[in-house]
Amino acid sequence: MDKRDYYEVLGVAKDASDQEIKAAYRKKAIQYHPDKNPGNKEAEEKFKEAAEAYSVLSNPEKRQRYDQFGHAGMSGNGGFSGGGMNMEDIFSAFGDIFGGGFGGGFSGFGGGGFGGFGGSGRSSQRVHRGNDIRVRLALTLEGISTGVEKKIKVNKYVKCPHCNGSGAEAGSGVETCKTCGGSGRVSRVQQTLFGQMQSVTTCPTCGGTGKTITKKCSSCGGSGVVKADEVIPVQIPAGVAQGMQLTVNGKGNCGPMNGINGDLLVVIEELPHDLFKRDGDDILYDKYVSISEAALGASIEIPTLANPVKIKLPSGTQSGKILRVKGKGLPEVNSRSKGDLLVSINVWVPKSLTREETQILDQLKSSSNFSPSPSKKKDKGFFDRVRDMFD
Protein backbone atom coordinates (compact mmCIF):
# COMPACT_ATOMS: atom_id res chain seq x y z
CA MET A 1 0.00 0.00 0.00
CA ASP A 2 1.30 3.50 -0.88
CA LYS A 3 2.42 5.65 2.01
CA ARG A 4 0.45 8.77 2.84
CA ASP A 5 2.01 12.18 2.46
CA TYR A 6 3.87 13.03 5.68
CA TYR A 7 2.32 16.50 5.86
CA GLU A 8 -1.11 14.91 5.52
CA VAL A 9 -0.30 12.41 8.28
CA LEU A 10 0.46 15.22 10.75
CA GLY A 11 -2.24 17.52 9.37
CA VAL A 12 0.07 20.46 8.64
CA ALA A 13 0.78 22.63 5.60
CA LYS A 14 3.95 22.13 3.55
CA ASP A 15 5.32 25.45 4.81
CA ALA A 16 4.63 24.61 8.47
CA SER A 17 7.22 25.77 10.98
CA ASP A 18 9.23 23.40 13.18
CA GLN A 19 7.07 24.32 16.17
CA GLU A 20 3.86 23.63 14.24
CA ILE A 21 5.18 20.23 13.17
CA LYS A 22 6.22 19.38 16.73
CA ALA A 23 2.85 20.44 18.12
CA ALA A 24 0.99 18.43 15.47
CA TYR A 25 3.02 15.34 16.27
CA ARG A 26 2.36 15.78 19.99
CA LYS A 27 -1.38 15.88 19.29
CA LYS A 28 -1.27 12.72 17.15
CA ALA A 29 0.95 10.89 19.65
CA ILE A 30 -1.49 11.59 22.48
CA GLN A 31 -4.48 10.61 20.33
CA TYR A 32 -3.11 7.27 19.16
CA HIS A 33 -0.82 6.30 22.04
CA PRO A 34 -1.11 2.53 22.76
CA ASP A 35 -1.67 3.13 26.49
CA LYS A 36 -4.71 5.17 25.57
CA ASN A 37 -5.86 2.64 22.95
CA PRO A 38 -4.98 -0.79 24.39
CA GLY A 39 -5.25 -3.60 21.86
CA ASN A 40 -6.21 -1.23 19.04
CA LYS A 41 -3.96 -2.21 16.14
CA GLU A 42 -5.21 0.60 13.91
CA ALA A 43 -4.33 3.20 16.54
CA GLU A 44 -0.90 1.60 17.00
CA GLU A 45 -0.20 1.82 13.26
CA LYS A 46 -1.26 5.47 13.19
CA PHE A 47 0.99 6.11 16.20
CA LYS A 48 3.92 4.63 14.27
CA GLU A 49 2.92 6.47 11.10
CA ALA A 50 2.94 9.81 12.92
CA ALA A 51 6.38 9.06 14.41
CA GLU A 52 7.72 8.17 10.97
CA ALA A 53 6.39 11.43 9.53
CA TYR A 54 7.86 13.45 12.40
CA SER A 55 11.25 11.73 12.09
CA VAL A 56 11.51 13.13 8.55
CA LEU A 57 9.82 16.54 8.81
CA SER A 58 11.65 17.48 12.03
CA ASN A 59 15.04 16.96 10.34
CA PRO A 60 15.91 19.86 7.96
CA GLU A 61 17.99 17.72 5.60
CA LYS A 62 15.49 14.88 5.43
CA ARG A 63 12.62 17.33 5.02
CA GLN A 64 14.36 19.06 2.11
CA ARG A 65 15.03 15.68 0.49
CA TYR A 66 11.40 14.62 1.03
CA ASP A 67 10.08 17.90 -0.41
CA GLN A 68 12.20 17.34 -3.53
CA PHE A 69 11.85 13.60 -4.12
CA GLY A 70 8.91 12.46 -1.95
CA HIS A 71 9.02 9.01 -0.36
CA ALA A 72 11.55 7.86 -2.98
CA GLY A 73 14.07 10.29 -1.51
CA MET A 74 13.83 8.60 1.90
CA SER A 75 14.99 5.17 0.71
CA GLY A 76 18.20 4.23 2.50
CA ASN A 77 18.59 7.68 4.01
CA GLY A 78 18.04 6.98 7.65
CA GLY A 79 14.29 7.60 7.87
CA PHE A 80 12.08 5.20 9.78
CA SER A 81 9.95 2.80 7.86
CA GLY A 82 6.54 2.03 9.23
CA GLY A 83 7.03 -1.72 9.01
CA GLY A 84 10.37 -1.76 10.84
CA MET A 85 9.64 0.78 13.55
CA ASN A 86 8.82 -0.48 17.01
CA MET A 87 7.82 1.33 20.17
CA GLU A 88 11.34 1.37 21.58
CA ASP A 89 12.58 2.96 18.33
CA ILE A 90 10.10 5.77 18.84
CA PHE A 91 10.97 6.27 22.48
CA SER A 92 14.71 6.16 21.80
CA ALA A 93 14.42 8.75 19.04
CA PHE A 94 11.87 11.06 20.67
CA GLY A 95 12.28 10.47 24.39
CA ASP A 96 12.87 14.16 25.07
CA ILE A 97 9.66 15.12 23.30
CA PHE A 98 7.60 12.53 25.14
CA GLY A 99 8.95 13.88 28.40
CA GLY A 100 8.89 17.45 29.68
CA GLY A 101 8.47 18.86 26.18
CA PHE A 102 4.94 17.47 26.21
CA GLY A 103 4.13 18.67 29.68
CA GLY A 104 4.02 15.15 31.05
CA GLY A 105 4.29 11.58 29.85
CA PHE A 106 1.55 9.16 28.89
CA SER A 107 1.69 6.51 31.58
CA GLY A 108 -1.45 7.82 33.21
CA PHE A 109 -3.48 6.69 30.21
CA GLY A 110 -3.05 3.02 30.88
CA GLY A 111 -0.69 2.62 33.78
CA GLY A 112 1.85 0.61 31.80
CA GLY A 113 4.44 3.38 31.75
CA PHE A 114 5.62 4.94 28.51
CA GLY A 115 9.11 3.56 28.86
CA GLY A 116 7.77 0.02 29.02
CA PHE A 117 5.22 0.29 26.19
CA GLY A 118 2.77 -2.16 27.63
CA GLY A 119 5.14 -3.85 30.01
CA SER A 120 8.05 -4.86 27.78
CA GLY A 121 10.41 -3.77 30.57
CA ARG A 122 13.45 -3.53 28.27
CA SER A 123 15.80 -0.62 28.81
CA SER A 124 16.49 1.67 25.87
CA GLN A 125 19.88 3.29 26.36
CA ARG A 126 20.71 6.02 23.92
CA VAL A 127 23.33 5.44 21.27
CA HIS A 128 24.60 8.74 19.91
CA ARG A 129 24.72 9.19 16.14
CA GLY A 130 27.13 11.58 14.50
CA ASN A 131 25.85 14.32 12.21
CA ASP A 132 25.76 13.89 8.45
CA ILE A 133 28.22 15.93 6.39
CA ARG A 134 27.13 17.54 3.13
CA VAL A 135 29.73 18.42 0.47
CA ARG A 136 29.44 19.68 -3.10
CA LEU A 137 31.36 17.99 -5.89
CA ALA A 138 31.91 19.71 -9.26
CA LEU A 139 32.13 17.41 -12.30
CA THR A 140 32.77 17.92 -16.01
CA LEU A 141 30.49 16.36 -18.64
CA GLU A 142 33.38 14.06 -19.56
CA GLY A 143 33.56 12.77 -15.98
CA ILE A 144 29.78 12.40 -15.84
CA SER A 145 29.76 10.44 -19.10
CA THR A 146 32.10 7.72 -17.83
CA GLY A 147 31.71 7.83 -14.06
CA VAL A 148 34.70 8.66 -11.92
CA GLU A 149 36.24 8.03 -8.52
CA LYS A 150 36.92 11.20 -6.54
CA LYS A 151 38.85 11.54 -3.30
CA ILE A 152 37.20 14.08 -1.03
CA LYS A 153 39.07 15.61 1.90
CA VAL A 154 36.73 16.22 4.83
CA ASN A 155 37.46 17.77 8.22
CA LYS A 156 35.19 15.88 10.60
CA TYR A 157 34.81 14.27 14.00
CA VAL A 158 36.63 10.93 14.24
CA LYS A 159 37.09 8.45 17.05
CA CYS A 160 39.57 9.79 19.60
CA PRO A 161 42.78 7.74 19.18
CA HIS A 162 43.86 8.46 22.78
CA CYS A 163 40.87 6.74 24.41
CA ASN A 164 39.65 4.74 21.40
CA GLY A 165 36.34 6.56 21.51
CA SER A 166 35.40 5.64 25.08
CA GLY A 167 35.88 9.16 26.43
CA ALA A 168 37.75 7.75 29.47
CA GLU A 169 41.35 8.47 30.36
CA ALA A 170 43.75 5.50 30.27
CA GLY A 171 43.56 3.55 33.50
CA SER A 172 40.12 4.93 34.15
CA GLY A 173 36.82 3.58 32.97
CA VAL A 174 33.07 3.92 33.04
CA GLU A 175 30.53 3.10 35.69
CA THR A 176 26.80 2.73 35.86
CA CYS A 177 25.11 6.12 36.03
CA LYS A 178 23.96 6.77 39.60
CA THR A 179 21.16 9.08 38.48
CA CYS A 180 19.29 6.65 36.21
CA GLY A 181 20.70 3.34 37.43
CA GLY A 182 21.96 2.51 33.94
CA SER A 183 18.62 2.78 32.12
CA GLY A 184 19.47 6.05 30.38
CA ARG A 185 16.11 7.50 31.42
CA VAL A 186 14.65 9.22 34.43
CA SER A 187 11.00 9.61 35.29
CA ARG A 188 8.93 11.81 37.52
CA VAL A 189 5.33 11.55 38.66
CA GLN A 190 3.10 14.60 38.42
CA GLN A 191 -0.42 15.02 39.75
CA THR A 192 -2.78 16.58 37.19
CA LEU A 193 -6.52 17.08 36.75
CA PHE A 194 -6.57 13.82 34.79
CA GLY A 195 -4.87 11.88 37.53
CA GLN A 196 -1.32 10.81 38.09
CA MET A 197 0.93 11.34 35.05
CA GLN A 198 4.44 9.99 34.65
CA SER A 199 6.95 11.71 32.35
CA VAL A 200 10.03 9.91 31.10
CA THR A 201 13.04 11.86 29.81
CA THR A 202 16.66 11.28 28.85
CA CYS A 203 18.94 11.18 31.86
CA PRO A 204 20.68 14.57 32.14
CA THR A 205 23.74 13.06 33.83
CA CYS A 206 24.74 10.43 31.27
CA GLY A 207 22.90 11.77 28.22
CA GLY A 208 20.96 8.54 27.83
CA THR A 209 23.93 6.17 27.66
CA GLY A 210 23.44 4.74 31.18
CA LYS A 211 27.17 5.13 31.87
CA THR A 212 29.34 7.85 33.35
CA ILE A 213 33.10 8.31 33.03
CA THR A 214 35.20 8.26 36.19
CA LYS A 215 38.00 10.32 34.60
CA LYS A 216 37.53 12.08 31.26
CA CYS A 217 40.03 11.66 28.44
CA SER A 218 42.55 14.52 28.36
CA SER A 219 42.52 14.57 24.57
CA CYS A 220 38.77 14.67 23.77
CA GLY A 221 37.41 15.91 27.10
CA GLY A 222 35.22 12.84 27.51
CA SER A 223 33.34 13.11 24.21
CA GLY A 224 35.20 10.25 22.54
CA VAL A 225 35.67 12.24 19.33
CA VAL A 226 38.22 14.74 17.96
CA LYS A 227 38.48 16.78 14.76
CA ALA A 228 40.70 15.45 12.00
CA ASP A 229 41.01 15.41 8.21
CA GLU A 230 40.02 12.27 6.34
CA VAL A 231 40.33 11.55 2.62
CA ILE A 232 37.28 9.59 1.50
CA PRO A 233 37.16 7.86 -1.91
CA VAL A 234 33.75 8.28 -3.54
CA GLN A 235 32.68 6.35 -6.63
CA ILE A 236 30.49 8.56 -8.83
CA PRO A 237 28.31 6.53 -11.23
CA ALA A 238 28.02 7.59 -14.87
CA GLY A 239 25.08 9.79 -15.78
CA VAL A 240 24.62 11.79 -12.57
CA ALA A 241 22.99 15.21 -12.90
CA GLN A 242 23.04 18.66 -11.30
CA GLY A 243 21.61 18.59 -7.77
CA MET A 244 21.64 14.80 -7.44
CA GLN A 245 22.70 13.62 -3.99
CA LEU A 246 24.75 10.50 -3.30
CA THR A 247 24.98 8.98 0.18
CA VAL A 248 28.18 7.37 1.45
CA ASN A 249 27.03 5.46 4.50
CA GLY A 250 29.03 5.80 7.71
CA LYS A 251 31.45 8.43 6.42
CA GLY A 252 30.00 11.41 8.27
CA ASN A 253 30.89 12.58 11.77
CA CYS A 254 31.64 9.91 14.34
CA GLY A 255 29.06 9.68 17.11
CA PRO A 256 30.23 10.60 20.64
CA MET A 257 31.08 7.85 23.11
CA ASN A 258 31.61 5.12 20.49
CA GLY A 259 28.35 6.08 18.83
CA ILE A 260 27.18 5.53 15.26
CA ASN A 261 28.75 7.39 12.37
CA GLY A 262 26.66 9.77 10.31
CA ASP A 263 26.70 9.73 6.51
CA LEU A 264 28.58 11.73 3.89
CA LEU A 265 26.12 13.40 1.49
CA VAL A 266 27.67 14.30 -1.87
CA VAL A 267 25.72 16.86 -3.92
CA ILE A 268 26.59 16.92 -7.63
CA GLU A 269 27.40 20.19 -9.40
CA GLU A 270 27.74 20.17 -13.18
CA LEU A 271 30.43 22.43 -14.65
CA PRO A 272 29.61 24.40 -17.85
CA HIS A 273 31.12 22.94 -21.01
CA ASP A 274 32.88 24.90 -23.77
CA LEU A 275 31.20 22.96 -26.60
CA PHE A 276 28.12 21.15 -25.34
CA LYS A 277 24.89 21.81 -23.50
CA ARG A 278 23.03 19.09 -21.65
CA ASP A 279 19.34 18.27 -22.12
CA GLY A 280 18.55 15.27 -19.92
CA ASP A 281 20.68 12.42 -21.29
CA ASP A 282 21.14 14.14 -24.67
CA ILE A 283 23.88 16.64 -25.40
CA LEU A 284 23.47 19.55 -27.83
CA TYR A 285 26.13 20.91 -30.18
CA ASP A 286 26.16 23.79 -32.70
CA LYS A 287 28.03 23.02 -35.94
CA TYR A 288 28.84 25.73 -38.49
CA VAL A 289 29.24 24.68 -42.15
CA SER A 290 29.98 26.64 -45.31
CA ILE A 291 27.37 27.51 -47.95
CA SER A 292 28.96 25.06 -50.36
CA GLU A 293 28.96 22.22 -47.79
CA ALA A 294 25.30 22.83 -47.03
CA ALA A 295 24.38 22.99 -50.73
CA LEU A 296 26.54 20.13 -52.05
CA GLY A 297 26.69 17.89 -48.99
CA ALA A 298 29.84 16.84 -47.17
CA SER A 299 31.40 14.54 -44.60
CA ILE A 300 31.90 16.61 -41.46
CA GLU A 301 33.72 15.88 -38.22
CA ILE A 302 31.81 16.28 -34.96
CA PRO A 303 33.38 16.27 -31.48
CA THR A 304 31.85 14.07 -28.78
CA LEU A 305 32.57 13.57 -25.09
CA ALA A 306 35.01 10.83 -26.13
CA ASN A 307 36.48 10.66 -29.65
CA PRO A 308 35.38 12.73 -32.69
CA VAL A 309 33.05 11.09 -35.21
CA LYS A 310 32.31 11.81 -38.88
CA ILE A 311 28.76 12.19 -40.10
CA LYS A 312 27.24 12.75 -43.54
CA LEU A 313 25.77 16.16 -44.23
CA PRO A 314 23.11 15.68 -46.95
CA SER A 315 23.10 18.03 -49.92
CA GLY A 316 20.63 20.87 -49.60
CA THR A 317 20.83 20.95 -45.80
CA GLN A 318 19.08 24.02 -44.44
CA SER A 319 20.39 26.13 -41.60
CA GLY A 320 18.72 24.97 -38.40
CA LYS A 321 18.56 21.31 -39.44
CA ILE A 322 19.19 18.98 -36.48
CA LEU A 323 21.10 15.76 -37.06
CA ARG A 324 20.98 12.99 -34.46
CA VAL A 325 24.03 10.87 -33.61
CA LYS A 326 22.66 7.87 -31.75
CA GLY A 327 24.24 6.77 -28.47
CA LYS A 328 26.76 9.63 -28.23
CA GLY A 329 25.03 11.39 -25.35
CA LEU A 330 25.17 10.65 -21.64
CA PRO A 331 24.32 7.33 -20.01
CA GLU A 332 21.27 7.00 -17.80
CA VAL A 333 22.24 6.40 -14.16
CA ASN A 334 22.45 2.68 -13.36
CA SER A 335 21.31 1.75 -16.87
CA ARG A 336 22.83 0.63 -20.15
CA SER A 337 20.80 3.12 -22.20
CA LYS A 338 22.46 6.29 -23.47
CA GLY A 339 21.22 9.58 -24.83
CA ASP A 340 22.08 11.03 -28.23
CA LEU A 341 24.22 13.84 -29.60
CA LEU A 342 21.98 16.41 -31.32
CA VAL A 343 23.86 18.51 -33.88
CA SER A 344 22.30 21.81 -34.95
CA ILE A 345 23.55 22.83 -38.40
CA ASN A 346 24.25 26.53 -38.91
CA VAL A 347 25.22 27.80 -42.37
CA TRP A 348 28.08 30.28 -42.12
CA VAL A 349 27.69 33.38 -44.28
CA PRO A 350 31.04 35.13 -44.91
CA LYS A 351 31.23 38.75 -43.82
CA SER A 352 33.51 39.81 -46.69
CA LEU A 353 33.96 38.46 -50.24
CA THR A 354 36.65 38.63 -52.92
CA ARG A 355 35.80 40.10 -56.32
CA GLU A 356 35.65 36.62 -57.84
CA GLU A 357 33.35 35.34 -55.09
CA THR A 358 31.08 38.37 -55.54
CA GLN A 359 30.81 37.71 -59.31
CA ILE A 360 29.93 34.06 -58.74
CA LEU A 361 27.21 34.91 -56.23
CA ASP A 362 25.85 37.62 -58.56
CA GLN A 363 25.43 35.00 -61.26
CA LEU A 364 23.64 32.66 -58.86
CA LYS A 365 21.42 35.38 -57.42
CA SER A 366 18.98 35.23 -60.30
CA SER A 367 18.57 31.44 -60.03
CA SER A 368 15.33 30.28 -58.39
CA ASN A 369 17.31 27.66 -56.45
CA PHE A 370 19.04 30.45 -54.55
CA SER A 371 15.87 32.37 -53.70
CA PRO A 372 13.94 31.36 -50.57
CA SER A 373 10.28 30.49 -50.99
CA PRO A 374 7.91 33.34 -49.99
CA SER A 375 6.04 30.85 -47.82
CA LYS A 376 9.14 29.93 -45.88
CA LYS A 377 8.48 30.29 -42.17
CA LYS A 378 10.73 32.10 -39.79
CA ASP A 379 13.42 29.85 -38.29
CA LYS A 380 12.73 28.60 -34.77
CA GLY A 381 15.31 28.72 -32.04
CA PHE A 382 17.57 25.71 -31.45
CA PHE A 383 15.82 24.45 -28.31
CA ASP A 384 12.40 24.90 -29.95
CA ARG A 385 13.54 22.73 -32.84
CA VAL A 386 14.85 20.08 -30.44
CA ARG A 387 11.52 20.12 -28.61
CA ASP A 388 9.62 19.67 -31.92
CA MET A 389 11.52 16.44 -32.52
CA PHE A 390 9.80 14.87 -29.52
CA ASP A 391 6.27 16.28 -30.06
Domain residue extents for the chain:
129-167+222-272, 277-389
d(CA 89, CA 129): 14
d(CA 137, CA 47): 39
Over residues 273-294, mean pLDDT: 95
Question: Left if phi > 0, otherwise alpha if psi is -120 to 50, otherwise beta: which for 221?
Answer: left
- Domain 277-389: give its CATH architecture: Sandwich (2.60)
Return the H-helix or E-strand segment holding 57.
helix 41-57
Per-residue pLDDT at 289: 96
Q: Of the given ranges (42-46, 149-153, 270-274, 341-345), which has the lowest mean pLDDT?
A: 42-46
User: How does residue 387 score in pLDDT terms, banded at 50, 70 and 90?
Assistant: low
Same fold, 129-167+222-272 and 277-389: yes
CA distance 125 to 112: 19
Lowest mean pLDDT segment, chosen from 103-117, 189-203, 305-319: 103-117
Residues 241, 244, 248, 251, CA torsion sign: positive
pLDDT at 34 over 50: yes
Taking 60 as the threshold, does the pLDDT of residue 98 lie above it?
A: no
What is the pLDDT, as a whole number, of residue 222? 87
3-state SS, residue 19: helix
Phi, psi at 207, each rounded to 5°: 70, 20
What pLDDT, on the 0 to 100 scale, is given for residue 48? 87
Confidence of residue 79 (pLDDT cuts 50, 70, 90): very low
According to the model, what pLDDT value does residue 317 have?
94
Q: What's the rounded Cα separation, in Å, for the pair 23 and 124?
A: 24
User: Exposed, middle or buried: residue 322 (CB in 10 Å: 0-12, 13-18, 19+)?
Assistant: middle
- List b or e across 36-63, with b for residues whose CB sees 16 or more CB atoms inside 10 angstroms: bbeeeeebbebbbbbbbbbbbbbbebbb
- DSSP letter, residue 193: T
In sequence order, the 6+-apart residues with CB closer than 8 A to the CB of 159 are 165, 224, 225, 254, 258
Q: Which fold has domain 129-167+222-272?
A: HSP40/DNAj peptide-binding domain (2.60.260)
Cβ contacts of 87 within 8 Å, gap of 6 or more: 34, 117, 118, 120
Q: What are phi and psi of 212, to 5 degrees?
A: -125, 150
Rounded CA-CA distance 227/249 in Å is 19
Per-residue pLDDT tens for 309-368? 999 999 999 999 999 999 999 999 888 899 999 999 999 999 899 999 888 888 887 777
Cα distance between residue 133 and residue 45, in whole Å: 32
Q: What is the pLDDT of residue 379?
A: 55
Q: What is the structure's pLDDT at 90?
A: 64
The residues that bridge with 148 in the sheet, in sequence order, are 236
Q: Which of 65, 253, 231 is nearest to 149 (CA)?
A: 231
Q: Specify the amino acid at residue 363.
A: Q
How many C-beta neighbours within 10 Å does residue 194 have?
A: 9
Angle of helix 87-98 relative to helix 18-32, nearest 10 degrees, comes to 120
Which amino acid is residue 85, in one-letter code? M
Check residues 293 and 335 and name the one with the higher pLDDT. 293
Q: Are 264 and 247 in contact (CB under 8 A)?
A: yes
Candidate ranges 187-191, 220-224, 383-387; pick with highest mean pLDDT: 220-224
Angle (CA) 35-36-37 rounded to 5° is 95
Q: What percent of the chain has pLDDT over 70?
A: 78
Across 22-31, 77-86, 199-208, least confident range: 77-86
174-176 and 211-213 strand pairing:
antiparallel
Is the pLDDT higher at 191 or at 42? 42
**CA atoms within 13 Å, Cβ hemisphere of 132:** 18
Look at residue 238 in the predicted model and tell me its pLDDT: 94
pTM: 0.58
